[in-house]
């Protein structure tokens, strides 16, 4: 899942679990997603985060994302989150929209692709620095 080009649709508590729903841009590649050639797709993604706290205004949802950072069990991911994902460690999710940021901090995550995928385009790969 690529945070840039995704939309944060909703954040809701279901008991002690925080459910975070995205309309997500999914990059599929046999190499490194977001870098190597592949395909782009649109799909719903649901994160279920345990004992989570949210900072930032939820009144601005849905929020088109410009990027973000995801940390789980001490491993950091900039803008790209591997899917599907299950981990019992500490979770920090920083989501950046235009002039607005939402921070989610919790324990444990289950992140799943939900429903049908919609094909968007071929991704030719990112160009590396010129030498």
In a domain, 128, yes or no: no
Instruction: Decide: pTM greater than 0.85.
Output: yes
In a domain, 130, yes or no: no
In a domain, 105, yes or no: yes
Give the chain's residues under pLDDT 50: 129-131
What is the per-residue pLDDT for 129? 45
In a domain, 6, yes or no: yes
What is the per-residue pLDDT for 35? 82
In a domain, 37, yes or no: yes
Number of domains in the chain: 1
Measuring CA to CA, which residue among 47, 97, 54 is closest to residue 72? Answer: 47
Runs of H (alpha helix) within the chain: none
Give the domain range for residue 9: 2-123
């Amino acid at each position: 899942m690529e945070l840039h080009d995704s939309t944060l649709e909703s954040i809701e508590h279901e008991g002690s679990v925080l459910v975070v729903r995205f309309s997500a841009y999914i990059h599929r590649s046999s190499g490194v997603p977001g870098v190597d050639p592949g395909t782009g797709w649109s799909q719903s993604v649901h994160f279920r985060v345990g004992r989570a706290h949210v900072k930032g205004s939820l009144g601005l949802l849905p929020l088109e994302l410009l990027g973000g950072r995801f940390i789980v069990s001490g491993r950091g991911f900039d803008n790209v989150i591997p899917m599907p994902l299950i981990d019992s460690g500490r979770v920090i999710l920083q989501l950046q929209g235009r002039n607005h940021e939402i921070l989610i901090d919790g324990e444990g995550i289950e992140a799943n692709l939900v429903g049908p995928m919609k094909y968007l385009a071929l991704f030719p790969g990112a160009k590396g620095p010129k030498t």
